[in-house]
Amino acid sequence: MAKNIAGASEVSITRTPTRASYKPRKASPLSLLGSLAAHGVMIITVIACIFPLLIIISTSFKPVNDVFDLKIIPAHFTLSNYQTVLAGNFVTWLLNSLKIGGMTTIAGLALAAPAAYAVSRWQFIGKQGLLLFFLVTQMFPWVLLIVPLYILYAQLNLLDNIFGLVVAYATTALPFSVWMLKNFFDTVPKELDEAALVDGVGPFQAFWRIILPLTLPGVAVVAFFNFMAAWNEFMMAYTFLQSDANLTLAIGIQRYVNQFGADWQYLTAAAVLITIPVLIIFMWVQRYLVTGLTGGSVKG
């Protein structure tokens, strides 16, 4: 307690009420220990977080006999796993995933952007109810949708069809997209589109020519998350897709697992190819996700 009071008096004497002002107090041996402990905890946590990724990367460069060699640095470095994977069905699945992801992103944005603009700019009857509906649909259990959707798709011949997945993905991503885009549109002053309207430009032109270009970074972030949701989705794809030629990466990668075990060397090589591009972009844009999810109340 005495230490605290000493610290407090130090602050009051220097009278600089910023956080840095009681910083010197922390340089005691005790806080040095605390700092060491903090770094220790962080290092252990970070290792636990990246270890599975490291192992995947490491195994993907090992020949089949070394898979359970367990050394992080491969003893016999090889690229043959990647060659085998890229020569197989992986490319088909990759193209399917890219197609589905691309179409989902475009369809999702085309539907969500005008809606988000309307919600962001205009006061209309039923707006609050609509926003609440978007929130509630976020917590829909997918299993509830997937059974009736399966039966609907069976009737429409959309099972084992890429287009069926695109429709489902784009729609389920809508509430989140509208919510995020609304937050981004809200950051542009209303006076800008009002000025455009006074100049005799229609609301669509104001949205298309002024608001969209100004919020392009935000729109790109939403586009990426739509893409990633489709890229990563497992349950619907697993339920709906059947034939090898239609699989996405999430399902195709399972083909490296058979009843006798898994071809870990191929599975990990495929996993690295799937993960790394998404991982890099994700690291870059994730702070926007946190801001968007929590309605701007928290900056990531």
Partner 1 sequence: MAVTSKHTEGSSPVRQSVWDRRLRLRVTLRAYLWLSPLILCMLVILVYPLINGLLLSFTNADQTNIAAHIGTISYQATYTFIGLENYITIVRNWFTPGSDENHVLIQTGIWIVANSIFHFLFGLGLALILNRKMRFRGLYRTLLMVPWAMPQFVAAFAWKFLYNQQGGYIDTFLEALHLPTINWGSDPAWAFVAVIIVNIWLGIPFMTVTLLGGLQSISAELYEAANMDGASHWQRFRYITLPMLRPIAFLVTLLDVIWTFNVFSVIFLITSGGPFHRSDTIFTFAWEEAFQVPQRYGLGGAYGIIILLILLVFTVFYSRMLRANQTVY
Distance (Å, whole) CA 167 – CA 148: 15
12 binds partner 1 (CB under 8 A): yes
208 binds partner 1 (CB under 8 A): no
CB 222 within 8 A of CB 181: yes
131 binds partner 1 (CB under 8 A): no
The region, left, alpha or beta by phi > 0 then psi within -120 to 50, assigned to residue 243 is beta
Q: What is the DSSP letter of 20?
A: G
Of the candidate residues 89, 102, 142, 201, the single one contacting partner 1 (CB under 8 A): 142
Query: Closest approach of Cβ 234 to partner 1, in Å?
Result: 4
27 binds partner 1 (CB under 8 A): no
Contact track, partner 1, 68-107, x by CB under 8 A? x-x-------------------------------------
Of the candidate residues 87, 129, 139, 260, the single one contacting partner 1 (CB under 8 A): 139
Which range, of 76-84, 179-187, 211-219, 268-276, touches partner 1 by CB under 8 A? 268-276
Instruction: Compute CA distances 175 → 195, 234, 293, whole Å.
Output: 30, 20, 11
Query: Closest approach of Cβ 83 to partner 1, in Å?
Result: 20
Say which residues have a Cβ less than 8 Å from residue 11's Cβ, sequence separation at least 6. 17, 21, 22
Q: What angle do CA 294, 295, 300 make, to 5 degrees?
A: 50
163 binds partner 1 (CB under 8 A): no
Beta strands in the chain (DSSP E): 257-258, 261-262
210 binds partner 1 (CB under 8 A): no
Q: How many residues bind partner 1 (CB under 8 A)?
A: 107
Of the candidate residues 13, 29, 73, 122, the single one contacting partner 1 (CB under 8 A): 122
Distance (Å, whole) CA 93 – CA 240: 15
